[in-house]
Structure 1
Amino acid sequence: MSLSIIIVNYKSTRLVLDCLEHLYRGAEAREFEVLVVDNASGDDGRQVITSAFPRISWIGMSYNSGFARANNEGIRQATGDAILLLNGDTLPDATVIETCYRRLMASPYAAAGVQLLNADGTHQISGNYFMKGGLNYLLPLPYLGPLIKRAGEWFRVEAPHVADTDALIEVDWINGAFLMVRRSTIDQAGLLDEDFFLYAEEAEWCSRIRKTGRLCLYGDLKVVHLQGETANQTFGSDGKGYYNLYDRKGLQIMLSNFVRIRKQFGAGWFLVQLFFYLVEIPVFFCGVILSRLGKRPYRYSWTQCRNYCKNVGVVVSKTPVILRNKPYFYKVL
């Protein structure tokens, strides 16, 4: 095999150790090139990780560069004819990785993923389809989101994600927790966009990869992903998924999603999405007031309403830069 695995680390030594421990349980892992890219963690992670796993290559960034830039540095230094972006909060099986690699290299596909699982064995969203204008990003809106979802169900709009699969299925983009790409594909599509700090970068990257070839999920191959563990530690947040719009993590999600919309779908769709996020502000305000008048438990707090408004305000302040689509590092931390 000629496979390079890139794991990005930021103050997550314990998670990376667990990831590598699961990886090296399989004899196949001896054939992998493993690169850990550290985003200036400033702790003893290098000593601890390299002492436990001397086979890996350690790449130190001089600052917290985020997901895209760190992976790009790993890709530049990797030697494999396929690259696997692997989250440090996964518990990978070397046999699964080897099987995915051999299938991908023997197939017509440009990139591949596997079925991600929660720690309890339930399925995570591992592959997705593009929705026009990225309209699925409206679903997390507190009050307008559920209305939009009901409207989509009424008109029988298909869900943009693959809930779970046990078979091979073609998708438009793959979860970046486990994303394997041919080196020849990267040469054509380019590296990840370094405007992104975290979130949405793999979706934008897959939109360019898809122009070079098809993407797929091997649903019978499973990998456990402790979703959100690293990001939650970094942002001091909680919860999983992408419906939290009320803290610094929510701001990074929101900002990255808007950047992706502008890059992939254009300025018009960016403005349409921003309109809905702005309309949500008075709706959110009224919804919180009305909830106080009823007897049901409060669904949202004034703090969430205030923080949502602040986060949208940041997006509005960045709108001229986003619309110009010039190089800019959209980093919240």
Structure 2
Amino acid sequence: MNHKPAHVTVSVIIVSWNARDYLRKCLASLSSNVCQFPMEIIVVDNASSDGSPDYVESEYPNVRLIRNAENMGFAKANNIGVSISSGDYLCFVNSDVEVLPDCITRLVNYCEEQPEAGMVGPLIIGGDGQLQRSCRGFPSVWNMFCRALALDRIFRNCKLFTGYSLGYWPQNSLRSVDILTGCFWLVRRQAMEQVGLLDESFFIYGEDMDWCKRFWIKGWQVVFVPSAKAIHYGGASSSNAPVRFYIERQKADLQYWKKHHSGPAVACYLMISYLHMFLRLTGYSFVLLFNPAGIIEQHKVKRSWACLKWIFSRETVL
């Protein structure tokens, strides 16, 4: 077994599935420059076929590697990583994230100064160098309706219509938020022990909404800390099967609604989801009439149609 410090302040957990090139960059970024505290790194590989686990074992002998025999999903794989971790803080980092200098140090320092903070996250920069919005409001019937009609885009600076996307806020200031997307979390172990592990019934997607909701229910704050920064390239796993993963996202959203909302609210959400996909399908199909070679539009028509079929499948029965 690989060596680890006698006392670990931060356990970094990375779940990887066929993302070797991204994982290489992620691991290279996790130096003492990003975390001044004793740190252990745990990679949980979900049965990759691209040589990822062999690469980690060969190039990073001090990284604790777990080889799952099958793809366990995001939540369960992270929980497996937690089970062998020992840090006071758990840092969940996607394989397609590059951690920037002082990022983890600043997140830990914030938690040390603010004992009510249970989960914190950094400012996320996309692979294109632009801000990647990583904070959201809890979904509600109203803000899902606004999203379906694109009111959150038309009136992107209006708080009334952007309660989910938080478009009215430039995401450049420290504040408590409902949801931090799951590409990068720093979690206080004490808080996690009260809240519980990630819900393994969420295979991929949705676990971020659910976990943040449970942190708030237990009285722990979820906080966005923009002085800490990381780059999220995005799509390390989902690019392998984009339509399938888009449907998985819709399934996870419905699963969240069934868990945290009433039956009538779930029924409203399903109707809004149908409206959302129908409008998108109609709009992109119209664009294709004038630009039949549009690759992006073709892809979006395909995924919207696939989601519409799924919404009316028996899987959506309440």
TM-score for both structures, normalised by structure 1? 0.80
Q: 1:310 matched to which residue of 2?
A: 306
Tell me by how many angstroms 1:77 deviates.
1.5
| Cα distance change, pair 115–15 in 1 and its aligned pair in 2 (3 A) | same
| Cα distance change, pair 94–287 in 1 and its aligned pair in 2 (3 A) | closer
Q: Paired residue for 1:257, among 253, 257, 273?
A: 253
| Cα distance change, pair 154–189 in 1 and its aligned pair in 2 (3 A) | closer
Answer with 57-66 or 263-272: which moved more: 263-272
Contact 2:106 2:227 in 1 (8 A): no
Tell me by how many angstroms 1:314 deviates.
2.4
Output the CA distance in 1 between the equivalents of 2:70 and 2:314.
25
Tell me by how many angstroms 1:249 deviates.
2.2
Please list, as runs of the form range in 1=range in 2, the aligned pairs for 1:8-157 lying within 5 A after superposition. 8-24=15-31, 26=33, 28=35, 31-93=38-100, 95-107=102-114, 108-133=116-141, 135-136=143-144, 139=147, 141=148, 145-146=149-150, 150=154, 156-157=160-161
Contact 1:169 1:219 in 2 (8 A): no
Output the CA distance in 1 between the equivalents of 2:197 and 2:160.
36
Output the CA distance in 1 between the equivalents of 2:109 and 2:38.
13
Q: Paired residue for 2:266, among 255, 270, 282?
A: 270
Tell me by how many angstroms 1:268 deviates.
2.1
Output the CA distance in 2 between the equivalents of 1:19 and 1:137.
37
Q: Once superposed, what is the RMSD of the aligned Cα atoms?
A: 3.0
Answer with 267-276 or 49-58: which moved more: 267-276
| Cα distance change, pair 138–313 in 1 and its aligned pair in 2 (3 A) | farther
Output the CA distance in 2 between the equivalents of 1:119 and 1:155.
28
Tell me by how many angstroms 1:306 deviates.
5.9
Contact 1:40 1:63 in 2 (8 A): yes
Output the CA distance in 2 between the equivalents of 1:307 and 1:158.
24
Does the residue aligned with 1:197 lie in a helix, a strand or coil?
A: coil
Output the CA distance in 1 between the equivalents of 2:265 and 2:253.
12
Aligned residue type for 1:260 = Y
Tell me by how many angstroms 1:223 deviates.
0.8
Contact 1:129 1:172 in 2 (8 A): yes
Tell me by how many angstroms 1:49 deviates.
1.2
| Cα distance change, pair 58–148 in 1 and its aligned pair in 2 (3 A) | closer
Tell me by how many angstroms 1:36 deviates.
0.2
Contact 1:135 1:273 in 2 (8 A): no
Tell me by how many angstroms 1:35 deviates.
0.5
Answer with 307-316 or 94-103: which moved more: 307-316
Q: 2:3 matched to which residue of 1?
A: none
Does the residue aligned with 1:41 lie in a helix, a strand or coil?
A: coil
Tell me by how many angstroms 1:11 deviates.
1.1
- What do residues 257-305 of structure 1 show as CA deviations (whole Å, max 9, x unaligned)? 1111221223222211211333457656765776677xx5478967754
Aligned residue type for 1:92 = V
Size of the aligned set, in residue pairs, is: 304
Q: Show structure 2 runs of 5+ residues with no match.
A: 1-7
Output the CA distance in 2 between the equivalents of 1:172 and 1:2.
26
Does the residue aligned with 1:179 lie in a helix, a strand or coil?
A: strand
Task: Please tell me whether residue 210 in structure 1 is matched to residue 216 in structure 2.
Answer: yes
Task: Please tell me whether residue 230 in structure 1 is matched to residue 237 in structure 2.
Answer: yes
Output the CA distance in 2 between the equivalents of 1:204 and 1:231.
20
Q: Show structure 1 runs of 5+ residues with no match.
A: 238-246, 324-333
Answer with 265-274 or 252-261: which moved more: 265-274
Q: Paired residue for 2:184, among 178, 181, 204?
A: 178
Does the residue aligned with 2:185 lie in a helix, a strand or coil?
A: strand
Tell me by how many angstroms 1:164 deviates.
3.9
Aligned residue type for 2:178 = D
- What do residues 87-136 of structure 1 show as CA deviations (whole Å, max 9, x unaligned)? 11111135211221122133121110010001343211122222424843
Contact 2:287 2:297 in 1 (8 A): no
